[in-house]
């Protein structure tokens, strides 16, 4: 098994975790434009990781097709489902903000942001678990 794409992807996901935590600190400090800008970078990096590594890897996972109820397939599918929803919601939140070019309208989307970050956290934890399964640590 080629470890490199998985390791690079894991590294990228940890960088995104750092971005999300920093963006959360900026929101606490009421620096909302910087918070939104940093979250936009996080969403863009997640798309890159999905397009280059995770999407193609999911399509090549034979076990998901041959044994869909296997524990590994279930982890992969719940990870992919929560990750996809978080990615789409994050993209919509960032896009709506950019269309309005002011953080004011975003206050209404606080609940959506909380739901997105909860799904993203579940996807991240399952993704790290999945990494230990794929690469045997």
Q: Which is nearer to ligand HEM, 22 or 57 (CB)?
A: 57
Q: Kindly tell me which residue out of 20, 39, 40, 120 binds ligand HEM, with binding defined by CB under 6 A.
A: 120
Contact (CB, 8 A) for 64 and 76: yes
Closest CA to 16 of 83, 76, 61, 73: 83
Q: Kindly tell me which residue out of 19, 23, 87, 93 binds ligand HEM, with binding defined by CB under 6 A.
A: 87
Q: Kindly tell me which residue out of 26, 39, 54, 94 binds ligand HEM, with binding defined by CB under 6 A.
A: 54
Indicate left, alpha or beta for 16 from its phi (over 0: left) and psi (-120 to 50: alpha).
alpha
DSSP, res 107: G
Q: Kindly tell me which residue out of 32, 41, 52, 58 binds ligand HEM, with binding defined by CB under 6 A.
A: 58
Q: Kindly tell me which residue out of 6, 52, 75, 91 binds ligand HEM, with binding defined by CB under 6 A.
A: 6
DSSP labels for 21-89? Answer: HHHHHHHHTT-HHHHHHHHHHHHHHHHHHIIIIIHHHHHH-HHHHH-TTSHHHHHHHHHHHHHHHHHHH
Does 86 help bind ligand HEM (rule: CB under 6 A)? Answer: yes
Does 55 help bind ligand HEM (rule: CB under 6 A)? Answer: yes
Contact residues for ligand HEM (CB under 6 A)?
Answer: 5-6, 9-10, 13, 46, 50, 53-55, 57-58, 76, 79-80, 83-84, 86-87, 120, 123-124, 127-128, 130-131, 134
């Amino acid at each position: 098994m080629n470890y490199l794409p998985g390791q690079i992807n894991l590294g990228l996901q940890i960088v995104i975790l750092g971005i999300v935590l920093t963006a959360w600190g900026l929101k606490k400090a009421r620096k909302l434009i910087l918070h939104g800008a940093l979250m936009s970078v996080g969403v863009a990096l997640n798309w890159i990781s999905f397009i280059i590594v995770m999407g193609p890897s999911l399509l090549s996972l034979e076990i998901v097709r041959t044994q869909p109820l296997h524990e590994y397939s279930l982890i992969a599918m719940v990870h992919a489902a929560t990750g996809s929803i978080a990615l789409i919601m994050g993209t919509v939140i960032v896009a709506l903000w950019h269309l309005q070019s002011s953080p004011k309208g975003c206050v209404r989307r606080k609940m959506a942001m909380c739901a997105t970050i909860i799904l993203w956290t579940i996807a991240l934890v399952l993704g790290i678990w999945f990494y230990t399964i794929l690469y045997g640590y």
